[in-house]
Amino acid sequence: MGRVTTRVPRTRVDLEIGSSVRRPDTVAVEEPLEVRVDDVALATTMRTPGDDFDLALGHLLTEGLVRSAADVATMMHCTDLAEDGSPTFNVVDATLAPGVTLDRPARERTETMTSACGVCGSASIDAVRTASRVDVAADPVTVPGAVLAGLPDALREQQQTFDRTGGTHAAGLADSTGRLLVVREDVGRHNAVDKVVGAAARETLPPFSGTVLVVSARASFEIVQKAAVVGIPVVVAVGAPTSLAVEFAEESGITLCAFVRAPRYSVYSRPDRLATA
């Protein structure tokens, strides 16, 4: 498995005191991961190595290509080699279970992802409105406001790679009491979400009713969309929401909260799920 972090040379310049100090720095590793299904290339993303099977499975689920972890029979790293002949572990090949086919063709955006954007590069917004089979609007979950406001701090406590590099996003899946069920980090915010979904899907069959997705980044359309596809009714973001994220949250019935830093948060859709008492 590839390294999560690596050491690089750095020169730190302080203009105020006129100093220049050269010393090593720890940075997050960013490498490509190609996801194949039955030997056919499906997607390529720039990611932090680690939890690659979670990422591959989560991507298949949040893109609406498969319905559960049981649809995937096996996953393995292909033995692709770097220029020096060492294995890179940068290709995951998933084999579908007997009788299973992808629920729809991979959309154009899926062919090349980046660690940074997500919706950027889509042929159109309509092309990324993956139809969810889950009526997430009907989820009756209620989350106390104090619990919701505390989730970013709880997530931050588990961001070990960020502590070392300052260069990764995090995502976590929590229950309605604020207990984090799974946390993953990645240089890409949507990769972190896919890793969380893939990990959760190994233990629980989607939809993930009664849960909260918390992300260390802004609330983009794609993050809200991924939540809707797998039935996560509440999304919490440390950063700002985008206009399309708000619009889609309203359409799909997701409770979207952003600028969440205890004791404050902003609610953009479905405030009825939040208990303030």
DSSP designation for 104? S
> Residues, the chain, total?
277
Going from the C-alpha of 109 to that of each of 113, 210, 225, 262, the distances in angstroms are: 7, 30, 14, 36
256 close to 227: Cβ distance less than 8 angstroms: no
The annotation status of 137 as a binding-site residue, yes or no, is no
What is the radius of gyration, based on Cα positions, of the chain?
A: 19
193 close to 171: Cβ distance less than 8 angstroms: yes
The annotation status of 263 as a binding-site residue, yes or no, is yes
The annotation status of 262 as a binding-site residue, yes or no, is yes
Of the listed 78, 117, 120, 257, which one is catalytic?
117
CA neighbor of 154 nearest in space, from 179, 176, 133, 175: 179
DSSP lists the bridge partners of residue 62 as none
Residue the block writes with tokens 């991924």: 226
Going from the C-alpha of 235 to that of each of 37, 251, 273, the distances in angstroms are: 29, 14, 12
For the chain, the helix, strand and coil percentages under 3-state DSSP, each to the nearest 5 = 30, 35, 40
The tokens for 36 are: 């194949």
DSSP 14-27: ETTTTEEEEEEEEE
117 is catalytic: yes
| Whole-angstrom distance, CA of residue 175 vs CA of residue 213 | 9
Q: Is 178 left (phi over 0), alpha (psi -120 to 50) or beta?
A: left
Give the residue numbers of the binding site.
259-264
Q: Which residues are identified as catalytic?
A: 117
